[in-house]
Structure 1
Amino acid sequence: MATYMDVHTGMKGITTEQLAAAHRADLAIEKDEGVHFQRAWADPVSGHVYCLSEAPSAEAVQRIHERTGHPAAEIHPVPITVS
Structure 2
Amino acid sequence: MAPASKQLSKEADMPDEVNIDELLELESEEERSRKIQDFVQELLAKLRGLHKQPGLRQPSPSGDGSLSPRQDRARTAPR
Q: What band does the TM-score fall into relative to the shorter chain?
A: under 0.3
Which structure would you say has the larger Rg? 2
Larger RCO, structures 1/2 (Cα 8 Å, 6+ apart): 1
Q: Which has the higher helix share?
A: 2
The two structures have a TM-score, normalised by structure 1, of: 0.25
